Amino acid sequence: MAFITLNKAHFFHNLDLLCAKAGGKTKLMAVLKDNAYGHDLRTMATLAHEYGLLRAAVKNIEEAESIDDLFEEVLVLVDHPTCKTLSPSISLATHSYEALQALPRGASIHLSIDSGMHRNGIKEAQIEAAMELIHEKEMRLKGVFTHFRSADELSGELFWQRANFERAKVKIKAIAQTYAMPFIAFHSCNSAALLRVSSIGSDDYARSGIAMYGYTTLHPLIATYDLKPVLALWAEKLSSRILKKGERVNYGGVYEAKEDELISTYDIGYGDGFFRFDGSRPIKMADGSFSKGRMSMDSFCLGGDAPNVCMFDDANPLAEQFNTISYEIITKLYPALKRVVI
């Protein structure tokens, strides 16, 4: 049966690096959204808790409820406003004034600020009205945050957005003091920003996602880091056979044996979330061997007869071949594939 291994030592190594950049374990929020970037939400949340992280962020309420017993706070980043009664440890990211209007009185929230990405968030001109509404509805404003659009690129936009967020922080802190609001946590750095800046400044913590799992899209001219990929995908042999010279294998027969050769079929296909390859270019496995022909929904062929083969332990080469990013390679993997912590 195909399976995924999760390297605990690599995960903790990455967290050591990120926490050192952020200023300690209390200064890092683990972003575990989308099934922990394909790694398995509960497994990675348990490891993050074991490491000593206190906060996590997820995609939706369902994800939050599955791990809220492990953290002091779980922030829901994407879900829609709800009147559902939630655990006191769960907070909702609020991305617009309309969302504030839709949420029930007393909701626990983090207010999103549009510092220049122009995807979500309250604009600076709306801050006063938003804070007034939060006060009127007796909401628990636990945090205020923003998101950077170009932290990994060779540009100065990160620092422009950071300055915009700092200006918003000053306004929010002054209004909060007027309303006698309790402590508000501010956070802005994603993985790329955290790796790029010298410190998180006056923020209370950073949010790290992809870097925890061993990847960064940070331009190498800015900085390089010894991040270690956590996930490896393994396939198990289904059958073996001798492919005679001139015989062709799998759909379309796009691979033809140049001589008699031993090949095997393995139990990973595009139905398991691996990118479908059409046989026009072979796909390189972690051990340097290459695929033979097209990938099917549930299987693919490879030379030799190894009982198990590691399809990848680093998503970057695959991302280059499929013209995408490491995020997509790992998040597409079928959630039901067995995960094994090593």
Point out the residues that are catalytic.
33, 251
Are β-strands 73-76 and 55-58 bridged in parallel, bridged antiparallel, or unpaired?
Answer: parallel
Up-side HSE of residue 205: CA atoms within 13 Å toward CB?
Answer: 21
CA of residue 305 relative to chain centroid, distance: 34
Q: Which residues pair with 338 in a beta bridge?
A: 3
List, in order, residues 6 or more apart from 106 with CB less than 8 Å away: 137, 138, 139, 140
E strands within the chain? 3-6, 28-31, 55-58, 73-76, 90-94, 108-112, 140-145, 185-187, 206-208, 231-243, 248-249, 255-256, 261-266, 291-292, 300-303, 308-312, 338-341
R_g of the chain, CA atoms, integer Å: 23
Whole-angstrom distance between the N-terminal and C-terminal Cα of the chain?
A: 17
84 and 61 Cβ atoms separated by less than 8 Å:
yes
Long-range CB contacts (< 8 A, 24+ apart) of 77-84?
77/31, 77/33, 78/33
